[in-house]
Amino acid sequence: MSRSLIVMPDDSAKPILDAINRSTKSLRVKMFLFSDPSLLKAVIAAKQRGLKVRVMLNPARRDGESENRESRKQLEAGGVEVIDSNPEYDVTHEKSMVVDDTTAFVKSLNWETKNLTETRDYAIVTSHAHEVAEIVECFEADWARKSFKGDAHSHLIWCCGNGRDRIAQFIDDAKDSIFLQNERYQDPVIIERLVRAARRGVKIHVMARPPHKLKKDKLVEAVGGMRIMQDVGVKIHKLKHLKLHAKMLLADHARAIVGSINLAPGSFDSRRELAIEVRDADVIERLTKIAHHDWENSHPLDLTDEGLLAEFEDHKVKGTDELALHDDQGKHKVA
């Protein structure tokens, strides 16, 4: 099977651990967050049985918070080569692994325990030689601090590079339906494409994080983007029993994109991101089942002024005055 799908939390870390434990030559890991004890142990064990193991970690979030420091110490103590990700990018948000130069994992999930046990996340496993080679090429370029940017000829979807164009075209090509799972809907180009799709009759189902979970400096863009889509009939829901971390698009129950890309300008223009488009029948069949299952187990988001104000008050969210929300008497109210 040339491509397969991993669904979190349903499948657990087992498919990833199995791949690491079966590896015989090399591992390349590029990760935004890496802290899960079982994965740390497996990667160190691979090094200790003689593999060439290299790990590239994002050094810090945009706000300066560093979450990989302790993991890096553990990996280095185990003999693993570890470096910071390429400083050309504000953040390296890509989550990938290449095993023995023959199999690659393109993921939405970080290697932290909650993304293995609590969140809806996905990974595509590919053994297509041209896709694996492209991920290796990018890894080696980032390791050596050389330039690599996806373009119109790339097999995969890269940021910076061809990300916005590829996702916009994916939406433009939809004929009947689109299911989206993403944390943020902020990019004007992508929102425009979704609005146009809705207007030409494509049924669009959007799953998003609730507004109170968004960062304060992204509220205006994110809430505005969702409200624009809702105004043209796009249904917007939140998961009931799982946290949403996935970045997945499914069109016409025939094509899908899975990877690390949030639908936000920063992801397209200043971050290292990776996603893959697939049409494999078995992968699409399972993604379709999960998308419909999640939709059935979700709630509509209340994006009215009254609904947003109540949500922000319930969760003690401050600094929302830039949203210019009004109470039920039509008066401006600062949350």
Q: How far is CA 3 from CA 11, 125, 157, 283, in A?
A: 16, 5, 16, 8
DSSP 79-106: T-EEEEPPTTSSEE---EEEETTTEEEE
Contact between 108 and 114 under an 8 Å Cβ cutoff? The reply is no
From its phi and psi, is residue 233 left (phi > 0), alpha (psi between -120 and 50) or beta?
A: left
Bridge partners, residue 239, by sequence = 298
Contact between 286 and 5 under an 8 Å Cβ cutoff? The reply is yes
From its phi and psi, is residue 57 left (phi > 0), alpha (psi between -120 and 50) or beta?
A: beta
Q: Is the peptide bond before 138 cis (omega within 30 degrees of 0)?
A: no
What is the model's pLDDT at position 335? 45
* Tens-level pLDDT at each residue, the chain (335 residues): 589 999 999 999 999 999 999 999 999 999 999 999 999 999 999 999 999 999 999 997 666 567 899 999 999 999 999 999 999 999 999 999 999 999 999 999 999 999 999 999 999 999 999 999 999 999 999 999 999 999 989 999 999 999 999 999 999 999 999 999 999 999 999 999 999 999 999 999 999 999 888 887 788 888 999 999 999 999 999 999 999 999 999 999 999 999 999 999 999 999 999 999 999 999 999 999 999 999 999 999 999 999 999 999 998 887 677 888 876 555 555 54
Dist CA 105 CA 4 (whole Å):
10
Helix (H, G, I), strand (E, B) or coil at 274: strand
Q: Nearest CA to 26 among 116, 136, 158?
A: 136
Between 69-77 and 37-48, two packed helices, what is the crossing angle to 10 degrees?
30
Helix (H, G, I), strand (E, B) or coil at 23: coil
Terminal CA-to-CA distance of the chain, rounded, Å? 52
